[in-house]
Structure 1
Amino acid sequence: MTRYEDVRTVLSDYSVFSNAAMGMSDAGGLSQEEFERKRKGQLLAFDPPEHTHLRRILTPEFTMRRMRRLDERITEIVDEHLDLMERTGPGVDLVSHLALPIPSLVICELLGVPYSDRAEFQERASRQVDMSLPQHERMELARESQEYMRSLVVRAQADPGEDMLGMLIRDHSEVLDTDALTNIAGLLLFAGHETTANMLALGAYALLCHPDQLGWLRGHPEQAGQAVEELLRFLSVAHSGIPRVATRDVEIRGQTIRAGQQVLFALAPANRDPRFVDEPDRLDLTRKPTAHVAFGHGAHHCIGAPLARAEMRIAFPALLRRFPGLTLDLSAQEVRFRAHHVVYGVEALPVTW
């Protein structure tokens, strides 16, 4: 599905287009027991009402009100890394100095994951979603990631902290066992840094390639929230999501989809559908925010969207304010992109000022 309207139809109707129906067909050679353990607590592996129950447990940690309370800490983290950029430069890689460490540190603090482990889990996560690698290698990386999260869960179960993992253990241990906690924490850790890091880097690239828009945002930092929505629509760093499976025969625009067939949805073309938005290939930060699908839609709309928005809303204006002469340190055509990754982005973004 590539049209905006069709993508929203698929994502909103879980009774016809199911996440849970992927089942063992996507188990990668796992036994039934292994599959069920990896599925426990996985928001992406269930439809309502099971999904609703899991989401209700996590939602209080990602409300807009809770994110607003985090603004001060996010601002501190952003300023610390801008200070480091200033001391190191002029001339740094914006990915390693700003885009990656900000969301990584935020999600580590929220979850209770040691920030000292960031290099290891970031490297593993990046390779895990590199579709150019052999499947067996990516599966081994997934196993390593799960074992790492399990060790953190077991440690937290023995001594729950004040972080999100500690909260889940104290308040929901009767419904969330070690497997479920491991899977929940693993998903939040991956999604909490991988997607936002790529949006920060790719968003900076887009702004530097559109100096008129960069200038507008620098002059209107109070409109950063609106600008972030347009950047999300324009860039759509998450190509798709978990494929849905049709639970019955259904017809969309004359195309018959049979029960049991997989349905893929493409978020980037949906967000640039001319039937959805005028001049879709033009970056316009003054555009009225649209109901884009960069975070998905329906029951599986990204639970961490308020956190990602907060990080971008704070980071982009702060970066432009601190470095009024910010520019690419190479030509736009020389920037290398993560073409084979599940989450789109740039390999590096050398900048100077």
Structure 2
Amino acid sequence: MTETLTTGLPVERPDPFNPPAELGILREAEPISRLRFPDGHLGWLVTNYALAREVHADPRFSSRSELHHILREVGGQAVPQQPPAQPGMFIGQDAPDHTRYRKLLTGQFTVRRMNQLMPRVEQIVAEHLAGLRAHGSPVDLVEHFALPVPSMVICELLGVPYEEREGFQRDTGAALSLNRPFEEIRAAFDRVLEFVADLVARKRAEPGDDMLSGLIATGELDDEEVANMGLLLLIAGHETTANMLGLGTFLLLTRPDQLRLLRDDPALVDNAVEELMRYLSIIHFGTTRTALEDVGIGGVVVRAGETVSISVTAANRDPERFERPDEFDVTRSASGHLGFGHGAHQCLGQQLARIEMRVGYAALFREFPDLRLAVPAAEVRMRTDMAIYGVHELPVAFS
């Protein structure tokens, strides 16, 4: 029987790129251990790679949002348990609703559509790198490259007018904050949803060659469902990749030996993207599941109604799965990492994210061979106050 009780997920990092040391200690001692959630609920914390995959893949562990106890505090307070997910909010649902929505979305994320996007992604990246050079050194890489590139890509994919990005980017940032009062976060989230709902109404009146119009054209979804699905895609489609581009560049600029390998052999970019996803694990609060019935796992019994927090950062550093896991190595084959999740809820847009990162990193370091930090690494502001980890800004310099 497990003995350790952790109160709140350890989040204090020894440096910007490594997870809290307590997670590694727990992983070695008790791969699944007791965790007290901010609202007082006594649940579980999984830090082991094999157990993380097992929980993600087991339908006895639910993704339904109304069943979860929330691990993150917001504004210094425990977040109340949420109501059932609204129609179309598929990440907070189980089968059969999740299956239905995911099948419709899979039809939109086709290999053909992703391949067709490649030249456009290359063009968007090239335009923003030209903008970096025109701006001159120093420059904030997040503002001028890491954020606008995936934002423009997801806008074009969904059919969102890019000139309307300022409002939803501001509100998305507010919705993902951990420091603001919960009411402000909820209001920001609602404003993004209102923006997407208005866009869906416009698409129904004047459809285009985009994903929102494609979802409407299936005839299987009402406007509320399309808007909620579009909201999830819009937030995930630019926030996650933007933070990987910013944080990944920060890491590479502090690892000159690894950056040299990547520059000397551009074919390593595929490996580098997977290794960055494994090593950095920007979903730093992990994922959550709640047991629908008593489940025996890892030598313990998770009782029905108990919430399990899965630490992706700890699982991706598990030495039983990855050799020398605390070393960053762009030559490593990091396939199988949990950066995109696992099981029925594995990230739908992972191939798009890979394309954006492969093109983005390769072009950035090719076009700016002397790219470097413009401030000491210790002065870079980290997103420890946000639901998705990364850098708030990344001041860089070049000749």
| Counterpart residue identity of residue 41, structure 1 | G
Deviation at 1:135, TM superposition (A): 1.2
Q: Does 2:67 correspond to 1:67?
A: no
Contact 2:286–2:313, Cα closer than 8 Å, also in 1: no
Relative to its length, the structure with more strand (as a share) is 2
Name 2:8's counterpart in structure 1.
none
Query: Take 1:234 and 1:24, find their aligned partners in 2: how far apart are those partners?
Result: 27
Read off the aligned partner of 1:178 and give its amino acid letter.
D
Pairwise CA distance, 1:241: 5.3
Report the alpha carbon displacement of residue 23 of structure 1 after superposing the two structures with TM. 4.9
- 1:128/1:142 contact within 8 Å kept: yes
Any idea what the Cα deviations from partners look like across 1:122-163, whole Å, max 9, x if unmatched? 111111111122111111111111111111111111111111
SS at match of 1:140: helix
> What's the TM-score, normalizing by structure 2?
0.83
Q: What's the counterpart of residue 99 of structure 1?
A: 146
CA distance in 1, matches of 2:336, 2:68: 34
What letter corresponds to residue 343 of structure 1 in structure 2?
Answer: I
**AA at the equivalent of 1:198:** N
More displaced stretch, 227-236 vs 62-71: 62-71
Residue 175 of structure 2 contacts residue 185 of structure 2 at CA under 8 Å; is this kept in 1? yes
Work out the CA distance in 1 between the residues paired with 2:145 and 2:212: 26
In the alignment, what sits opposite 1:57?
Answer: 104
| Partner residue of 1:331 out of 376, 386, 391 | 376
Find the counterpart in structure 1 of residue 291 from structure 2: 246
Match of 2:133 among 75, 86, 104: 86
Q: Residue by residue, what CA displacement relative to the aligned partner does 1:39-65 show, whole Å, maximum 9, x if unpaired?
A: 201221222232222111111332344
Q: Distance in 1 between matches of 2:99 and 2:56?
A: 15
Matched ranges for 1:17-32 at <5 A: 17-20=61-64, 22-23=66-67
| d(CA) in 2 for partners of 1:29, 1:66 | 38
**Which residue identity is paired with 1:191?**
A
Q: How does 1:154-169 map to 2 (within 5 A)?
A: 154-169=201-216
Structure-1 separation of matches of 2:263 and 2:54: 37
Matched to 2:158, the amino acid is: L
Cα contact 1:21–1:245 (8 A) shared by 2:
no
| Structure 2 SS opposite 1:337 | coil
- Residue 62 of structure 1 aligns with an amino acid whose one-letter code is F
The answer to whether the 8 Å contact 1:44/1:242 transfers is no
Partner of 2:198: 151
Aligned partner of 1:284 in structure 2 is: 329
**Between 16-25 and 103-112, the greater mean CA deviation after superposition:** 16-25
The more displaced of 137-146 and 97-106 is: 137-146
Larger % of helix: which?
A: 1
Distance 1:326 1:29 in 2: 45
- 1:154-174: CA deviations, max 9, x gaps? 11111111111111112x23x
Take 1:29 and 1:251, find their aligned partners in 2: how far apart are those partners? 25
* Alpha-carbon distance between aligned partners in 2 of 1:124 and 1:310, rounded to the nearest angstrom: 26
Gaps of 5+ in 2: 1-45, 71-78
Q: Partner letter of residue 164 of structure 2?
A: D
Of the three residues 347, 350, 359, the one matched with 1:302 is 347
Which structure's relative contact order is higher, taking Cα pairs within 8 Å and 6+ residues apart?
1
Structure-2 separation of matches of 1:287 and 1:25: 36
Match status 1:199 vs 2:252: no
- Aligned position for 1:130: 177
**1:256 counterpart SS class:** strand
Q: Aligned residues: percent identity?
A: 45
